[in-house]
Structures are given as structure tokens and as C-alpha cells.
Amino acid sequence: MEGFQLGYKIFFMFIILVVTLLVAMYATYAERKVAAFMQDRRGPNRAGPFGLLQPLADGIKMFMKEEIIPSSAQKALFILGPSIAMTTALLTGVVIPWGGEFTFGGQTFSLQIADLNIGILFVFAMVSIGVYGIMLGGWASNNKYALLGSIRAASQMISYELAMGMSIIALILATGSLSLKDIVEQQHGWHWNVISQPLGFLIFLICAFAETNRSPFDLPECETELIGGFHTEYSGMKLGFYLFAEYINMFISSAVIATLYFGGYQMPFLHHLPLSPDLLTLLGTLFFFLKIFVLIFFFMWIRWTLPRFRYDQLMKLGWTRLVPLSILNIVLTGGFIYLKDLL
Amino acid sequence: MQFMFYLLALVALLSAAMVVFSRSPISSVIHLVVCFLAIAGHYILLNAQFLAVVQIIVYTGAIMVLFLFVIMLLNLNTTNEPHKSMLTKVSALIAGGLLFLVLLASFRGANDIVAAHPYDAKIGLVKSLGMVLFREYLLPFEISSVLFISAMVGAVLLGKRDTVKKS
């Protein structure tokens, strides 16, 4: 029985890997289509019907391109950079509860790979290691633009991790658990955390944009100032890994936001329907992915709407606005919980 | 389990040795990061998940990134490493040897010590850790946070001094 469960976990891990890669692949296509829609263009429409084979064509192009490692670069670190970026981006999916449970042949199977009792901190640990991918890659390129880009990325990510962590502390105060599964289970019905923690959600959302290096915080790869930022010297599939890691990060952070603030796989009124538990689990997972896709669309919407921040504005927003606001949020949440216990 | 322990111990010791022996500061930092990750793995083997993750977030994710940051900004390389005199090398050797002796002496008697509390597999989980920190050791915990705040204020003051003088 033990071995059977282990086999299932490995199989499920493989499925999550494939789904993550597939979603990230089509996120690149969706990004171009959304951009085209917002700029009144058609977007990619040559490869396959509606250009649906475009990500495949891009992937093949990336693989076929010549791999160039600059002669003045540190070879080992140059290869290590994109590998770390990709690995940490994929590892975060391990703790996310993708759905409830379903029973098959007398056994229950959970649609979550590992229910760590410190799940949310694990996400943070992976995000903080992810910085190394960008920093090492940028430094190993031995190019001043790449170095500037990687230094920008590192300081930006460290600055926004602080406000992000503190917005999470308020959420943990309200839910009383670090496990992502518990946090989702508490949000049944309309008890979504976004309603009880609106300020924390706003801070977390802004920080998620900064952590994934998405516009309007995409200063590490700011084309007008730094050519390509930290991946100036990269080409072929190594560049592909960096670009792909960004889309995986976007998918995973949308999943984390949906889990923490929008009830994860919980959906109001769903449990009142006369359906079997297995079907409810399946519907829950579908709704979870629907929430994720809406959030991914929001990420793209912001990218094609807002102009990029200036670097000093970015730092000022992080340290003098978001950090004090998140401290205020913690105090407010604590005070509210104290009052609620008193009454 | 035992195999995992020996594997992690091997990785930790090898990477720690590489921190000392490698010539370039960047590779020292990377080996130190690997060493910290191996130690976090040891914490997980002891069922102390919270400690493991905090180790990764604080040491690997914050402190070592700052180390790397400074090294990148100053562009420290093997070429401009300051050459140390013979006297410094000899005195460093003696000081390090003495420290090693003290550690060895203290570990020799470690097997005779009886644990004050029986071993509890749940001791490293976040729930029991929080209970201990906020009940038995609340005052030291709060005082140490004041210490951190004063250190932060001190660092900001030191960093600001230059700009105040100029204006």
C-alpha cells in the first residue's frame, strides 16, 4: 500500500510538471495574443489554426539555435544560472494544493504532492534561492549590462521580499496556519481571504509582480537602458530557460495568490450541488485553474497597460510605502483579532 | 535515513572545505550556499522543518545574496587579492589550531551529557517551537528583537553619515 501511494505521488509529480510546462508554453502565446488585442493587432496567426502551434515553433527555434558561451565568461556559472532559475521555478509547485481528494479503489488520493506544515515558507525559500539564478547568470556573463541587470534584480527582489513576507504574516495571523492546505480549507463558501485581508492582498500582488520581474517592475531586463539586462549574453535554449522560467514563475505565483486569497480549489455554492465527491474534486480543480488563468490575464493586462517604473521610484515604493503599509496591516489584523476574542 | 545523513554530511564537509580552499570569492560564496543547503537537509532529517526553511530563507536567501552582492559590486578577484605577510599566516594558523583544540576538548565529553528532556520528534515543528518561544522564553525573545532594531538603526546611521556631512 505504501509503495502504491509513493508510485501515485511520483506519477502526480510528473503530471504537475507537464501541466506547468504546458501552461507556461501557452502563456507565451497568450501574452502575444493579449498584447495584440490591446494594441489592435492580430498577433501570431501563421503556425497552425489561430497560430496555436506558435509556442511549439518557438521551442524548436530555441533548440536549433547555436549555443554561444562568450570566451570571457565563467563557463560553469554561466550554465548554472539558467538551471537554477528553472529548477526553483518548478519546485514551488510541490506545495500547492491543486485540488481536494478523490477516492479510488478504497484509497484516498490527495491532489497535492506534499502538505508541508510550513508550506507557505517553502514558497518563500524557493523564491529567495531563485535570485541566485539571475545573479550568477548576470555576473558570469562578464558584461557590464548583464552585471547591472543582475544587481538590479537582486536588490529589487530582496527589497520586495520584505513587504511580501510581512503581508503574509498578517494572513497567517488571521488563518493560524502555515500549511497551504489548511489555508484553502478555511476559505470555504465566501470566506475568501481577499475579503478579510484586502490591504495584505494588494501588497502581496504588487510584490508578486516585482518578484517575478514582470512589468511595471521589469527593470532587470529593461531594454531601453540595459539591452537585455541579465540575459544579454545568453542565446539558444539557455535564454529559453530564462524566458520560460519567467512564465512558470507567473503561473506559480498566480496559483499561490489564488490559493492564499481566492479560496484555492474552493468555490462558493459548489458543495450544495448534488454531485459525487470525486466530481466535486474535479470541478474544484477546474475552478482553481480558472482562477489562475484570470490572474495570469491580469498579469498580462498590467504589462501592456502600465509604463515601467524608474529605479529610484521602485525602491521608494518598496521601502517607504509598502513596508510601512504592511506593518500597519499586521497591527490592524492583530488588533482586530484581539477585539474579536474580547467580544 | 542513515544513508541520507552520510550523504548530506559529506556534501556539507566537502563544500565547507571548498569555501576555505577556493581561490575566487564568488566560488567560496557558492560553496557556502551549498553547505547551508546541506545543513538545512540535516534539519529536515531531524523533523525540524521550520528550522530548515528559516535556515534557507535567512542564510541562503538573504545573507549570502548580500555577500554575493558586495563581491559583485566591488569586483573582487583573485588578481587583486591582498597578499598576506608570513606573520599573519603563522598567527592565523596558531589561532585556528587553538580553536580546533578547544572544540575537540568540548566534544570529547559530549557523550556523557544526559538530555534534560526526552527526545520528542515534534520538537522542531513550528507549533511546538512557537509555544516554547512565546511562553517559556518570551522575555529573551523580545529583548533580542530590540537588539536587532538597535543594530538596524545603527547601520542606517552609519550609512547616512557621509551625506549629512556634505550638505
At A48, give phi and psi (nearest 5°): 75, 175
Helix (H) or strand (E) holding B136: none
- One pLDDT digit (tens) per residue for chain A, 343 residues: 577 778 888 888 888 889 888 888 888 888 888 888 888 888 888 877 887 888 888 888 888 888 888 887 778 888 888 888 889 888 888 888 887 777 777 777 777 777 778 888 888 888 888 888 888 888 888 788 888 888 888 888 888 888 888 888 888 888 888 888 888 888 877 778 888 888 888 999 988 888 887 778 877 776 667 777 777 778 778 888 888 888 898 899 899 998 888 887 877 777 777 777 777 788 888 888 888 999 999 988 888 888 888 888 888 888 888 888 998 999 988 888 888 888 7
pLDDT value of residue B94: 94
Of B50, B56, B65, nearest to A154 by CB-CB distance is B65
Cβ separation A128–B62 shorter than 8 A: yes
Cβ separation A151–B54 shorter than 8 A: no
For domain B1-81, give its CATH number from 1.20.120.1200, 3.50.50.60, 3.40.190.10, 2.40.480.10: 1.20.120.1200
Cβ separation A118–B62 shorter than 8 A: no
| A-B Cβ pairs (cutoff 8 Å, strict) | 64
List CB contacts (< 8 A) between A147 and chain B. 72
**Sign of the Cα pseudo-torsion (A92, A330, A179, B126, in order):** positive
Of B50, B53, B62, nearest to A158 by CB-CB distance is B62
Of A128, A135, A151, nearest to B60 by CB-CB distance is A128
Q: What is the ipTM of this complex?
A: 0.80
CA distances to A25, A34, A56, A234, A306 from A41, rounded to whole Å, are 21, 10, 22, 29, 18
Q: Is B73 on the interface with A (CB under 8 A)?
A: yes
Q: Is A311 on the interface with B (CB under 8 A)?
A: no
Cβ separation B127–A139 shorter than 8 A: no
The C-alpha of B26 sits at a distance from chain A's nearest C-alpha, in angstroms, of 9
Beta strands in A26-110 (DSSP E): 101-104, 107-110
Of B33, B50, B72, nearest to A118 by CB-CB distance is B50
Of B53, B66, B73, nearest to A122 by CB-CB distance is B53
Per-residue confidence band for B81, with pLDDT thresholds at 50, 70 and 90: low
Of A156, A293, A318, A144, the closest CA to residue A232 belongs to A144
SS3 state of residue A189: coil
**CB count in 10 Å sphere of residue B90:** 10
pLDDT value of residue B10: 92
| HEC assignment per residue over A267-289 | CCCHHHCCCCHHHHHHHHHHHHH
Question: CA–CA separation, A233 vs A142, rounded Å?
Answer: 9
pLDDT value of residue B79: 57
Question: CA–CA separation, A145 vs A162, rounded Å?
Answer: 26
The larger pLDDT score, comparing residue A108 to residue B59, is at B59
List CB contacts (< 8 A) between B127 and chain A. 117
pLDDT value of residue B162: 64
Q: Is B72 on the interface with A (CB under 8 A)?
A: yes
Cβ separation A124–B66 shorter than 8 A: no
List CB contacts (< 8 A) between A135 and chain B. 65, 68-69, 72
A:269-288 residues touching chain B, CB 8 A cutoff: none
Q: Is A179 on the interface with B (CB under 8 A)?
A: no
The C-alpha of B59 sits at a distance from chain A's nearest C-alpha, in angstroms, of 10
Q: Is B30 on the interface with A (CB under 8 A)?
A: yes
pLDDT value of residue B102: 92
pLDDT value of residue B99: 94
The larger pLDDT score, comparing residue B167 to residue A171, is at A171
List CB contacts (< 8 A) between A154 and chain B. 65, 68-69
Cβ separation A132–B26 shorter than 8 A: no
Q: Mutation test of the interface with chain B: which of A91, A94, A116, A131, choosing the one with the most B Cβ atoms within 10 A?
A: A131
- Identify the closest residue of chain A to B36 by CA–CA distance: A129
Cβ separation B72–A135 shorter than 8 A: yes
Q: For chain B, what percent of residues have pLDDT higher than 70?
A: 90
pLDDT value of residue A57: 85
CA distances to A7, A93, A198 from A281, rounded to whole Å, are 21, 19, 28
SS3 state of residue A176: coil
Do B120 and B47 meet the contact criterion of CB atoms below 8 Å apart? Answer: no
Q: Is A135 on the interface with B (CB under 8 A)?
A: yes
Q: Is A327 on the interface with B (CB under 8 A)?
A: no
Environment class of residue A183 by beta-carbon count within 10 Å: exposed (0-12), middle (13-18) or buried (19+)? buried
Cell of A226: 540595459
Helix residue ranges per DSSP H, B75-137: 86-108, 126-131
